[in-house]
Amino acid sequence: MEVLGRLLAMLAVLLLGTGLRSSGLLNAARTARLNATAYYVALPALVFVATYDQSIGELLSAELLAGSLIVVFATGAIAWLAHRNRFSRGRRSVAIIQSYHSNLGYLGLPLVAATFDARVTAIASVVLGFVTLIQLPLTIVVLSTFSGADAAIGRELRNLATNPVLGALVAGLAIGAAGLPVPAPAATGLDALGALALPLALLCVGAALQVDSPSLSLEATGSVVALKLGCMPLLAWGVFSLLAVDAATFTASVVMLGMPTAVSTYVYASELGGDAEFASLNVFVTTVASVATLFVLITVIG
């Protein structure tokens, strides 16, 4: 019941963000400030606190990296097979990317940190960093291939290099590997900032969620939900079971890869010729539906 209560509270804050946007209280400028606070302050603090006192050898493993790579590309391949010769090119490209592109930063890591212990959270931070490096370039390539858009892949890769969350991950792993101490007051302050990551991220995601009824297609959206919230975590479960990883790595990997579709897929669809309205609808539906699927997933992993 504790997990269900936490997920329902997450849904409540998410819908609060949507309601505040609809009422005008959370306008574009305020949402941007909240987003900047979450992205540049709270999430990096959470990642750093999760990793700075962990051994890099215990967090990074060939099985973790290989398993994540297999799950992302296998889900993408299944999505391509499921959606080929269906829908328009713009809608097809969005259906493919939203089947594997997970919301790891704004929902995944904060939820793991609020639900599991420090070791699982540290490994989830590594999953966040590594899978982001996979899914972001893959999403840009898929969208630009279908639309023929001139994607600035080099610019996006440079943005990744200056990503504050990835920078905090590298710093945390480096300090953990060197065994350097972090002063207690600094650790306490960063821990307090990291605790803000989930509520801030949920408000930002909620403010970005939109439903455009003309773009509604039960078949198309249903297939994205089934692949993202059903196929991908089941595939992760099978792959990491076969790789015989330890319990913490299994838990972190499966839960993180079971997250809903990232809000950023709507942004990339808008910029690179995808069906933006369809993308926005799918982000909303997968996020709301994930409350039920994550409850089942977390309960079964237990």
Q: What is the structure's pLDDT at 214?
A: 59
Q: What mean pLDDT value characterizes the chain? A: 85
216 band by pLDDT with thresholds 50, 70 and 90: low
Does the pLDDT value for residue 215 go beyond 80? no
Q: What is the structure's pLDDT at 1?
A: 58
Structure tokens at 12: 């409540």
CATH of 2-301, one of 3.30.830.10, 1.20.1530.20, 3.90.740.10, 1.10.1060.10: 1.20.1530.20
Place of tokens 């890099």: 56
- Would you kindly state where each structural domain of the chain is located, as residue ranges? 2-301
- pTM for this prediction: 0.86
- Report the alpha-carbon distance of residue 122 to residue 6 in Å, rounded: 20
- Report the alpha-carbon distance of residue 159 to residue 128 in Å, rounded: 16
Task: Note the pLDDT tens digit of each residue in 219-239.
Answer: 888 999 999 999 999 999 999
For the chain, give the percent of residues with pLDDT over 90. Answer: 31
Candidates 50, 201, 232; CA nearest to 123 is: 50
